[in-house]
Amino acid sequence: MMSASILLQNGTILTHDDHDHVVPLYETDVVICGNIITAIGKDLRSTLVGEVEIIDCRGKIVSPGYVDTHHHVWQTQLKGRHAEEGLVAYMVTGNMMSYAYTPADIYWGQLSGCLEAINAGTTTVLDHSHAGYTAQHVSSAVDATADSGIRSIFAYAIPVRMAEWNQSTCVIDEDLMADWAFAQIEQLASKYNTLELSHRIEIGYGFDWWFLPKEVSLNIFKRLRKSGVRLVTSHVGKTGFQGSSSKLNFLGSTNPSSGMQIGVSMLQSHGILRAPYSRSDQTPELPFFVFSHCNGYSDEELSVLSSTGTSVSSTPETESQMGIGYPVALHPALNTPARSAHVGLGIDCHSIVPSSIVLQARALLNLTRVEHNSHITAAGKFPTWKVRNTSEDVFNIATIRGARSLGLDGEIGSIKVGKKADIVVFDAVNSVGMLSAAEYDPVVAIIRFSEAADIDTVVVDGIIRKQDGRLVDVDVKTSATKDTRMSWQEVAQTVRHSQREIQTRIDGLDIQKGKETLFHTFRTDDSTLVDATV
């Protein structure tokens, strides 16, 4: 429940200056009234009247909430099965498996996925929700997102659906432009994308249909914008599977644009490269895009994204496992002295990796250093005293820069008077891993040494969602008319039951036929695919 006021007392508060430098304020208080940060300073208890919930933050680090700019939150019941799989296998055994989910399965997968993110300090997620088989599936996902308490841009995505899939056949449903879907998007946007109402949910859109003719795509984007959608997210990049060596095609389409690679020049030709804008800006005629991955783009292509202000999301762990490439968020072309691009970090699939943006920040820093150092050592030399980039660089991508990439930096992303109260408190004084590091540098302590177990408190929109190291109970929809208060343990038990039912349905599918259908649908060139174990 939301108290009249919350006082975070005597903590180390990680604030930002006007140049995104982190400025720790020691033994400092933060006051939250409603869902807004109203004061930051010393000894603020005496300034408050009425009901106040005091959280003792002595020896604790108070951080902005973490911003996840690319996540498929519905996939909880698939966790673990992709540990030794690459992108091609995942596309069949993961992405296509929404076929095996009922709307109820989507609810529990989505709810537990959101709660896992909150537990690890994520307060805002751009959810590329590509499991919308029916309107009921989408409604379940939105309801679960709301019930979890997370702040979300719910990017409504119509997946490539199977009309029929069993042990003998796998057939694509060719009805891509489902009328019910666009009607539902408009209905949801009219409910959530209004400035008059303060919702933690905003409706966006997930678009990956670059095989469509340009004029069809632009009509979709214009229709979305008229309905109130300001953000569209999309998977792009150049790999053998995504289109660097093979041409993207769909169902034998002969449209001129269907054979084009998903390169920056193609995106430019659509006129969609633009900077993010806030929810209050009603003037743009098109949504802005957040492009996930962008691996394989040349320095020149990345420079175009940077110069146009276009947003990019890197997901370091999935990109490295699946052969997509090194993450680009710290690439020099996106981070020049004159201009820093709008970049963020994402989990991608928590069926593959934990839902911790801090872990992704750590992976981004390490992978960037590996890539840079490999060029030095390949030339017969060795790196000297300093290494590439800093903990502050990736901390900012996880917080203020991530918020900026979503056009939300005026509301979240830093601890500042007037912003929404999205805050994470690390119990550094009782942490085993953060010992001594917290005393040396609180940002380094978080990025290099913390884990989700060190997070004592998570506040989203002024409401405590994790307290004393445990997720707070949530109100869940167990029927159309009844809400029930459930603990995390009860949610997890329900998810396990759902997982068993999903597995039974998966056992009835021919995975090889699914792979053949996928390859045929997208005209995949087998000659570009290599077994990574060989």
- The answer on pLDDT for 16 being more than 70 is yes
Whether 424 is covered by a domain: the verdict is yes
Whether 152 is covered by a domain: the verdict is no
Tokens 């913390």 belong to 450
Whether 264 is covered by a domain: the verdict is no
What's the Cα-to-Cα distance from 348 to each of 144, 311, 491, rounded to whole Å?
19, 16, 22
Q: Which two tokens stand for residue 346?
A: 């994402």
- Bigger pLDDT: 251 or 495? 495
pLDDT in tens, 375-418: 999 999 998 888 889 999 999 999 999 999 999 999 999 999 99
CB 385 within 8 A of CB 422: no
Map residue 512 onto helix, strand or coil: helix
Whether 383 is covered by a domain: the verdict is no
Overall number of domains in the chain: 1
pLDDT in tens, 83-140: 998 888 898 999 899 999 999 999 999 999 999 999 999 999 999 999 999 999 999 9
Backbone phi, then psi, for 423, in 5-degree steps? -140, 145
Backbone phi, then psi, for 11, in 5-degree steps? -100, 175
116 membership: H or E segment, kind and range: helix 103-119
How far apart CA 185 and CA 141 sit, in angstroms, is 13
Q: What is the pLDDT of residue 261?
A: 62
Whether 425 is covered by a domain: the verdict is yes
- Give the structural domain span for 444: 6-64+415-471
Q: Report residue 384 CA to chain centroid gap.
A: 35
- Bigger pLDDT: 357 or 517? 357
How far apart CA 419 and CA 474 sit, in angstroms, is 25
- The answer on pLDDT for 257 being more than 60 is no
| pTM of this structure | 0.94
Q: What is the pLDDT of residue 260?
A: 39
How far apart CA 69 and CA 288 sit, in angstroms, is 14
Q: Which residues pair with 125 in a beta bridge?
A: 68, 152
pLDDT in tens, 29-54: 999 999 999 999 999 999 998 899 99
How far apart CA 454 and CA 432 sit, in angstroms, is 9
How far apart CA 120 and CA 357 sit, in angstroms, is 8
Q: Which two tokens stand for residue 136?
A: 């009921």
Whether 101 is covered by a domain: the verdict is no
Whether 25 is covered by a domain: the verdict is yes
Q: Which residues pair with 467 in a beta bridge?
A: 470
CATH number of 42's domain: 2.30.40.10
